[in-house]
Structure 1
Amino acid sequence: MENRSEAEASPYKSLVAAVSYGIASMAMVFINKAILMQYGHSMTLLTLQQLATALLIHFGRQMGYTRARGVDMETAKKLLPVSLFYNANVAFALASLKGVNIPMYIAIKRLTPLAVLIAGFSSGKGKPTTQVTLSVLSIAAGVIIAALGDFSFDLWGYGMALTSVFFQTMYLVLVERSGAEDGLSSIEIMFYNSFLSLPFLIFLIITTGEFPNSLALLFAKSNSLSFLVILVISLVMGIVLNFTMFLCTIVNSALTTTIVGVLKGVGSTTLGFVILGGVEVHALNVTGLVINTAGGVWYSYAKYQQKMSKPPKQVSDVEAHR
C-alpha cells in the first residue's frame, strides 16, 4: 500500500523526503519573488496553485497514474481543519508582511519548531529527548539573537506573524496525525487540502477585491512568454512543494518539517545576501544564524540517532502477505 510505505519509511527515504522538501521550499522563495514582481495578486496565485494541484491529482487518478482514493465525505470532514489551518496560516502570514520587515518575519516564523515541540508534548505525544529539546531551543535562541540585529517593532504585524505561527503549528500537527492515524498518503492529503481550500480561497479573493482585477491582469500578461514560463514554473513548484512538505511530515514528523523550513530560511537568507546584495550584515545577525544552523544540524543528528536506535518493527505473517 502507498500509505503503508510512507508511514513505515526507511531512514534513507526519510532523508530524501527532508532534503527534497528543503530544496523545493528554498526554490519556491525565489520563484514566488520572481512571479510576484510581475503579478502582485498573491491570493489569486495561491488559488491557481491549489486548483492546478487538485486537477492534476484528479486526472492522474482517473488515468491510473496514482493509487490515491477518490473523495470520501467522512475523510473530507476529518481533514477540513487541516485545510482551514493551512489557509489561516497563509492569510495571517501575508497580513503580517504589511507591518513587519522580511528579516523579522522570517525570524518569527522560525519559532514554529518550538511551538510544534510544545504542541506535541501537550497532546501526549511524549517527552522529546534532551538532545532534541536543546537543539530546538538553540534554533529559537539563534532566531532571537539574529532578530536583535535588525529589530523594528509593529504590534499589529507581530501579532499577525505570531498568529500565523500558531496556525502553522496546528496545521503541521494535524497533517502528521492524519497521515499516521488515518492511513492517508501524502498525495491524498494534498488533494483534500487543495480541494477543500478552493471555496475558502475563492471567497477570500472576492471579498478582498482581488477578483476580477487579478483575472483581468492575468489575461493581459498572458501575451508575455517570459511571464507564462514563470507562472507555469510557479504552479508546478507549488505542487512539488506541497507534495514534499506532506511527504516529509508523514515519513518524519511535523517537527522535522519545521526544522527543514528553518534551515531553508537560513539558506534563502544567505543566498539573498549573495544574489541581491545591498543588505547590511550585523554581528548579531551572523551570530544568530550560526547558532540557528548549528541547532538544526544538532537536531538532525539527534533525530537520526533516535531513528537508528529504534528496533525494527516486527511484521506479522498476515501483514507480510498483503
Structure 2
Amino acid sequence: MSLKPSDSSENLILPVSDPPKDLDGERHHKADEKLFKGSAMTKRGANAAISYMTCAVLLVLFNKAALSSYNFPSANVLTLLQMVCSCCFLYLLRSWRIISFTANESLVISDNSPTFVSLKTLRHTSPLAGTYLLYMIVTMESVRGVNVPMYTTLRRTTVVFTMIVEYILVGQRYTSSVIFSVGLIVFGAFTAGARDLSFDSYGYAVVFMSNITTAIYLATISRIGKTSGLNSFGLMWCNGIMCGPVLFIWTLLRGDLKMTINFPYLFSPGFIVVLLFSCILAFFLNYSIFLNTTLNSAVTQTISGNLKDLFTIGFGWIIFGGLPFDIWNIIGQLLGFAGSALYAYYKLVGK
C-alpha cells in the first residue's frame, strides 16, 4: 500500500489539532470518541497523556545519567544533539512520505520545498520556536541543579504558572474543584521540600525558572498548535530548523563544543548508549507534548507531568539517591499525588 500523501481520508494522519471532519462538518475519527459516557476527555487525549508520562519518566533518568553520572559538561550540547536527531528523523520520515507535517492533507506542501513548509508558516510558528528553545535550555540545566526527587517536587508547582499564563493569554478560568486540586499539589510540593537537607539556592532558582518557561511554552503550543495548520511533527520540524542554528552558535560561542570534544567519556560505550536513548526519547517526548497539550490543555499536560513523578521519584531514589528519608517529604509527596489524582478525576468527569 502506497504511503504517498493524497487527499484521501483513508490516509493515516497524526494531527495535533482537531481531527478530520466529514461533509456535514461532523468529526468521524473513531479514536476521538469520549473515554466513557460523560467524560470530558477523549480516548485520543488519554492515550496522548499516557504516552507523555512514559517518555518523560525515561528521559529525565537518561538525561540525569548523562549530566550527573557521567558528568557530561554541557546541557546545551545535549539539547542540540537531541534537536539534530529529531530533525533527522523527521526529514527521513517526511521524505519517505511516512508522515505529513500538516493536520489536513490538502495543505501538504510540495516536496520541492527545501523546508517542507512555507515561509509564512515558519513566521507564524516563530514565537513557539523561541519559547521552545528557552524551555529546553533552562529545563536541561535544572535537571543538573538538584537531585531527581527534589527536581520533580519543585517542578510540580509548574501548574500554577501554567494557569496564570493561560488566564493572561486566553482568559481561561477554572472551577473551584480544579483550583482545590492544584492547591493541594502545591501544598504537597512545599511540604515535601521543607526539610530538603541538600538545599541549593542556584539549583532551586533554575528549577523555578524552568517552571515559568514551561508554562509559557505550553500556553504557546495551545494557541499556535491550533492555528498553524501543522500537526505535532510539523511543529517539531519548524522548531528544529529555526532553533538548531541558534543553539549551535550559542554552544560554539560559550565553548561548549570544545568541552564536548575533550570529554573523556565521549566514546565510552556506556555513555553512547545513554546519549542515544536520550535523543530517541526526546523525539517521542516532544511529539507527545504537542499532542497532549493540544488535544487536552496546557494544564492537563502539566498535571500529566505530576502524575508520572511517582515513578520518576522512585527510580531517582533507587538509581541516583541524593534525598535523605524524611516523613515530611513522604507526606508532601502523597499530598501532591492526591491533588494530581483529583485533577485527573475532575477532568474525566467534566467538573
Please say which of residues 73-82 and 98-107 is displaced more in the overlay.
98-107
Shift of 1:47: 0.5
| Matching of residue 170 in structure 1 with residue 216 in structure 2 | yes
Moved more, 236-245 or 72-81: 72-81
Structure 1 residue 48 corresponds to structure 2 residue 94 = no
Q: Write the deviation string for residues 123-159 of structure 1: whole angstroms up to 9, x where unpaired.
A: 3343212221211111111111111121666555444
Give the Å deviation of 1:277: 5.0
Q: Residue 330 of structure 2: which of 286, 306, 314 is its match?
A: 286
3-state DSSP of counterpart to 1:281: coil
Q: Report the AA paired with residue 266 of structure 2.
A: K
1:81-129: CA deviation from partner (whole Å, max 9, x where unpaired): 2222222223334555676555544333221111111222223343212
Distance 1:289 1:249 in 2: 25
What amino acid sits opposite 1:142 in the alignment? G
Q: What does 1:240-279 correspond to in 2, within 5 Å?
A: 240-276=284-320, 279=323
Cα distance change, pair 62–175 in 1 and its aligned pair in 2 (3 A): same
**Deviation by residue 1:45-97 (Cα, 9 ceiling, x = unmatched):** 21111011112112211111112152222222222222222222233345556
Q: In structure 1, how many angstroms separate the alpha carbons of the residues matched to 2:152 and 2:315?
A: 14
CA separation in 2, counterparts of 1:235 and 1:278?
A: 25
Counterpart for residue 185 of structure 2: 139
Identity of aligned residues (%): 27
CA contact (8 A) 1:57 1:191 kept: yes
- Give the total of aligned pairs: 305
Cα displacement string for residues 208-261 of structure 1 (whole angstroms, at most 9, x for unaligned residues): 21113314548x733x44433332222211111111111111111111111111
Aligned with 1:221 (options 266, 280, 289): 266
Q: Who is 2:24 aligned against?
A: none
| Structure 1 residues 91-102: aligned runs within 5 Å | 91-95=137-141, 102=148
**TM-score calculated relative to the size of structure 1:** 0.85
| CA distance, structure 2, for counterparts of residue 260 and residue 278 of structure 1 | 24
Query: Which one has the bigger helix percentage?
Result: 1
Q: Which runs of 5+ in 1 are unaligned?
A: 310-322
**TM norm structure 2:** 0.78
Is 1:29 the counterpart of 2:60 in the alignment? Answer: yes
Counterpart among 83, 95, 101 of residue 62 in structure 1 = 95
1:78 is aligned to 124
Q: 1:221–1:167: structure 2 CA closer, same or farther, 3 Å change rule?
A: closer
Q: Which AA in structure 2 matches 1:34? A: A
Structure 1 SS opposite 2:294: helix
Q: Partners in 1 of 2:266 and 2:312 — Cα distance? A: 28
Letter in 2 for 1:132: V
- 1:83-162 correspondence runs (5 A): 83-95=129-141, 102-150=148-196, 156-162=202-208
Listed as ranges, the gaps of 5+ residues in structure 2 are 1-8, 20-31, 34-41, 103-115
CA deviations over 1:146-199 (Å, ceiling 9, x no partner): 111216665554443323222111110001112223332111111111222202
Q: Are the aligned partners of 2:73 and 2:256 in contact in 1 as well (CA < 8 Å)?
A: no
Matches within 5 A, 1:167-246: 167-215=213-261, 217=263, 221-222=266-267, 224-246=268-290
Please provide the CA RMSD for this pair. Answer: 2.6
